[in-house]
Structure 1
Amino acid sequence: MFIHPILSLHIPLFLSIYIQTYHLLPLRKQTFLFSFHSRERGNMLAIFQKAFAHPLEELRSPTAVDESRAPKRPEEIMKGFHSLHPDNSFSANFGGGAALASCSDARPASFHHRRLFCSFDEIYCMYVGVLDNLSSLIRDYGLCKSTNDAQLVIEAYRTFRDRGPYPADQVVKDLAGTFAFVLYDNKAGTIFAALSSDGGVPLFWGLAADGSVVISDEVLVIKGSCGKSYAPFPPGCMFHSEGGLRSFEHPMNKIKAMPRVDSEGIMCGANFGVDKYTRINSMPRVGSSTDWTVWDESCL
């Protein structure tokens, strides 16, 4: 299998089992995408270089730790991920300093959660969860009936990226259900990630040794990769590499970083939450010509 925008792709033979379907689906006229589906349990891992990810420095632990628990470099993290899952993992490495990886295991997954990896127009999305209003969103976006959750997320991202009629927070807020996703736009070199308000899917993020952003739905992967420089991804929030962290539930409120101490009493990366007492000065009108992919950095 050859996927043009990816410079290197690691996909073992297990995909004949892990990928229950591999097919081309029409998203719009004369456009196509590929889709990997799985209902097995597994892990997803994303690594993005500091230069374009613009990570939040509050994630970095101020406490010095011994070398065995220090953050690792991106290549070590990816190598370790494949070492943990030698027969059932795959990864895609991009020339711009991004890498995506996923695996499955033999344990049954929740019937209600789907694990998807999709790509369209050089936009790559790793997704876990289920959208309760998928059918209605498919009609709203004018997509084919066989569109899955991750494909819908890609189309929603394209809507606000290309200056659609709604701001980014409204686009994500329209997604009803339990979900977590990490999306990478290879053309624009941007990252977009979000976690549903109920926090029903675990999602964590942290910093590698070189400052790269590491995102995973498995806390042990994050701990082994980032040492103490990690934190849970805040529910009801979205992260964009150009605009930072925002709440899509409370878009008019700023996000506040709060120090986090683990069970060992060591200061770790901060927890993030909505500051109910501090509001953003203003937001552009819905339907204006404002580019919603660049959010006001003063809100952080």
Structure 2
Amino acid sequence: MLAVFKNDVVNPPKELHSPTSKQAFARPKSPEEMLKDFLASNPINGFSLGFADKGFLAYAPPQSSVMSQQRLFCGVNDVYCIFLGSLNNLCTLNKQYGLSKGVNEAMFVIEAYCTLRDRGPIPAHQVLKDLEGSFGFVIYDNKAGIVFAASGADKAVNLFWGVAADNSVMISDNVDIIKASCGKSFAPFPAGCMYHSERGLMSFEHPMNKMKAMPRVDSEGAICGAYFAVDAYSKVNSMPRVGSEANWATWG
């Protein structure tokens, strides 16, 4: 999968930028070039969906059912989701949200997002903590212009994000795609965390703790972006809202 969003949609942590990234390649590939490469490598069932000048999502199902994580794509009411992995308690979650048995993980995540966006009573971090299984997903709400991404705490699904040469933000499960466009300005998306394009990065496992960036050094000793982790000694200014105003569109 590949998700690309322009810098007026997503404002990533400044530590994701590497001062040596421009020297990483003589000519890094643009996100558009990487999209062409992605579709060329999945000529039969790969596809992309563009959002004018905001960005695009590209998706291809697993090429083999053997030793491959589930990949799903879904769009409902102009909200789109790419979901990797699986939820062990999906049936229970569908019942809890009043959804049918046929709703898959991507559809559920969209429905949960929309419920919370429209003033649901449960805070986003609690919803994500209730997801049992291995997962990573990216949501784009085209009407609101919101990007929401999360990665499960068990680290079984690996996502990477980075800043391309044109300052757009890329998210993919393929680190080679990220490296080709972002040079050294990339990092693993932190497990047990969620990112909101207006509210930034936070841990849903430890919502009371702030996130910290730790310099990432490559094999040549060059600083290249940063790892992000929970700061055990630093707390947020206030408890995340738990009332009717707490939702995935406005958490903070």
Kept after mapping to 2: 8 A contact 1:131/1:149 = yes
Farther off after superposition, 77-86 or 220-229: 77-86
CA contact (8 A) 1:127 1:179 kept: yes
Deviation at 1:98, TM superposition (A): 1.7
Deviation at 1:76, TM superposition (A): 2.2
The structure-2 alpha-carbon separation of the partners of 1:114 and 1:104, relative to structure 1 and needing over 3 Å to count, comes to closer
1:95 equivalenced with 2:91 (yes/no): no
> What is the aligned partner in structure 2 of residue 217 from structure 1?
173
Q: What are structure 1's unaligned runs of at least 5 residues?
A: 1-43
Paired-residue identity, %: 56
Q: 1:269 is matched by which residue type in structure 2?
A: G
Q: 1:209–1:222: structure 2 CA closer, same or farther, 3 Å change rule?
A: same
Shift in Å, 1:84: 3.4
Give the aligned partner of residue 114 of structure 2. Answer: 158
Partner residue in 2 for 1:241: 197
Which residue identity does 1:266 align to in structure 2?
A: A
Partner of 2:10: 53
Q: TM-score, normalised by structure 2?
A: 0.93
Displacement of 1:127 in angstroms is 0.6
Aligned to 2:227, the other structure's residue is in SS state: strand
Distance in 1 (alpha carbons) for counterparts of 2:49 and 2:241: 38
Question: What is the correspondence of 1:245-260 to structure 2 with a 5 Å cutoff?
Answer: 245-260=201-216
Higher RCO (C-alpha under 8 Å, 6+ residues apart): 2
Give the residue type in structure 1 aligned to 2:230.
V
Indicate the residue corresponding to 1:8 in structure 2. none
Q: 1:231 to 1:67 in 2, by over 3 A?
A: closer
Checking the alignment, whether the CA contact within 8 Å between 1:124 and 1:184 is kept in structure 2 is: yes
Between structure 1 and structure 2, the one with the greater Rg is 1
Give the letter for the 1:47 counterpart. Answer: V
Q: Which secondary structure state, in structure 2, belongs to the residue aligned with residue 58 of structure 1? A: helix
The code of the aligned residue for 1:258 comes to M
Say how many residue pairs are matched. 252
Deviation, structure 1 residue 284: 4.9
Give the letter aligned to residue 154 of structure 2.
D
Taking a change above 3 Å as real, the CA distance of residues 69 and 193 of structure 1, as seen in their structure-2 partners, is farther
Q: Which structure carries more strand by proportion?
A: 1
The amino acid of 2:31's aligned partner reads P
1:110 paired with 2:49, answer no
Alignment of 1:132-211 (within 5 A): 132-211=88-167
Q: In structure 2, how many angstroms separate the alpha carbons of the residues matched to 1:219 and 1:173?
A: 26
Match of 1:126 in 2: 82
How far residue 95 of structure 1 moved from its aligned partner, in angstroms, is: 1.4
Instruction: Mark the CA change 1:64 to 1:162 in structure 2 (over 3 Å): closer, same or farther.
Output: closer
Q: How much does 1:54 deviate?
A: 1.4
Is the contact made by 1:71 and 1:229 (CA closer than 8 Å) also made in structure 2? no
2-structure distance, mates of 1:235, 1:169:
13
- Corresponding residue number in structure 1 for 2:226: 270
Q: Read off the aligned partner of 1:138 and give its amino acid letter.
A: N
CA offsets 1:120-172 (integer angstroms, 9 cap, x no match): 01010001101011011011000011111111111111122111111111111
Contact 1:206 1:213 in 2 (8 A): yes
Once the two structures are superposed, residues 223-266 of structure 1 have per-residue CA deviations (whole angstroms, 9 ceiling, x without a partner) of 11211111000000001101110100000000001100122322
SS in 2 for 1:154: helix
Q: Does 1:74 align with 2:45?
A: no
Q: CA deviation at 1:86?
A: 3.6
SS at 1:68 equivalent: coil
The SS at the match of 1:155 is helix
**SS in structure 2 opposite 1:286?**
coil
Partners of 2:250 and 2:11 lie apart in 1 by 13
The alignment partner of 1:75 has SS state of helix
The Cα of 1:67 is off from its aligned counterpart by: 6.5
Question: Partner amino acid for 1:132?
Answer: N
CA distance in 1, matches of 2:93, 2:21: 47
Q: How has the CA–CA distance of structure 1 residues 196 and 64 changed in structure 2, closer, same or farther, with 3 Å as cutoff? A: closer
Mark the CA change 1:69 to 1:220 in structure 2 (over 3 Å): closer, same or farther: farther
- Distance 1:96-1:167 versus aligned 2 partners, 3 A rule: farther
Change (3 A) 1:160 1:249: same
Encode CA deviations 1:50-73: one digit per residue, 9 max, x unaligned. 001112221111115546365433
